């Protein structure tokens, strides 16, 4: 043994034990801090992944919204004049009837009026073309319920079944969309 007295040895042993306990606590403490930091890191990574996923979803939704808005604007430009176009169709019909009625007359005054009506009709046709208003005149074509409205059905040996044999009123489309179906007579 040593030259020290037993009380001093006990104090040293106790001191050594306290140092060992403190070192053990310090060794455990970094492990606890390390696991705590790992947990925090995992939580932060999970939150970041969720935020990234949410950001991607929001970006996709905004892109879809932008595309839908552009389509709505395009449709508004294309079909914004639809109501006005429908109102003009009756004027076109009246001009066509006036021109057809004037053809039967031999009177010079009526011929002058007929020329004026035909010029006006030509102007209307040109205007309709500029704004993509196309006539639907299906005489002799197969009946299409998307473009035609059957007013009557008639047996005709000359025509194929389910074809248009007479047009009572022309139909019109605006940019390919039907604004008025053609009123037709269909063969049986």
How many whole angstroms from its chain centre is CA 68?
A: 4
Confidence bin at 71 (pLDDT 50/70/90): very high
34-57 per-position pLDDT tens digit: 889 999 999 999 999 999 999 999
Looking up residue 156, the CATH number of its domain turns out to be: 2.30.22.10
The closest of 79, 59, 55 to 67, measured between CA atoms, is: 59
Q: Is 31 a residue whose pLDDT tops 80?
A: no
pLDDT at residue 1 in the model: 47
27 has a pLDDT exceeding 70 = no
Cβ neighbours of residue 81 closer than 8 Å, sequence gap 6 or more: 131, 174
Give me the domain span that covers residue 53: 1-79
Q: Are 124 and 91 in the same domain?
A: yes
Question: Which residues neighbour 118 within 8 Å (Cβ) at sequence distance 6 or greater?
Answer: 99
- Helices vs. strands in the chain: H and E counts, helices first: 3, 6
What's the pTM? 0.62
The percent of residues in the chain predicted with pLDDT above 70, rounded, is: 84
Flag the least confident range among 75-84, 91-100, 164-173: 75-84
Domain count, the chain: 3
CA angle, 105 as apex, 103 and 108 as ends, to 5°?
Answer: 105
The CA distance from 126 to 118, in Å, is: 12
For the beta carbon of residue 85, count every other beta carbon within 10 angstroms.
20
Statement: residue 30 has pLDDT above 60: yes
Statement to judge: residues 13 and 74 lie in one domain: yes
The pLDDT mean for the chain works out to 84
Query: Do 26 and 52 lie in a common domain?
Result: yes
- Mean pLDDT, residues 147-151: 89
pLDDT at 113 over 70: yes
Residue 10 pLDDT > 70: no
């Amino acid at each position: 043994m040593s030259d020290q007295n037993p009380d001093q040895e006990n104090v040293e042993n106790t001191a050594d034990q306290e140092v060992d306990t403190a070192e053990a606590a310090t060794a455990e403490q970094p492990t606890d801090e390390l696991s705590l930091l790992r947990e925090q890191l995992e939580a932060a990574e999970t939150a970041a992944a969720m935020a990234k996923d949410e950001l991607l979803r929001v970006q996709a939704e905004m892109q879809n919204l932008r595309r839908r808005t552009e389509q709505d604007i395009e449709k508004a430009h294309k079909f914004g004049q639809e109501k006005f176009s429908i109102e003009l169709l009756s004027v076109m019909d009246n001009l066509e009837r006036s021109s057809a009625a004037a053809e039967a007359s031999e009177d010079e005054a009526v011929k002058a009026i007929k020329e004026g009506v035909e010029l006006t009709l030509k102007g209307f046709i040109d205007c309709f073309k500029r704004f993509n208003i196309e006539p639907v005149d299906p005489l002799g074509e197969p009946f299409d319920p998307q473009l035609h409205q059957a007013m009557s059905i008639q047996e005709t040996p000359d025509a194929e079944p389910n074809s248009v044999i007479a047009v009572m009123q022309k139909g019109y489309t605006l940019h390919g969309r039907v604004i008025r179906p053609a009123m037709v007579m269909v063969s049986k």
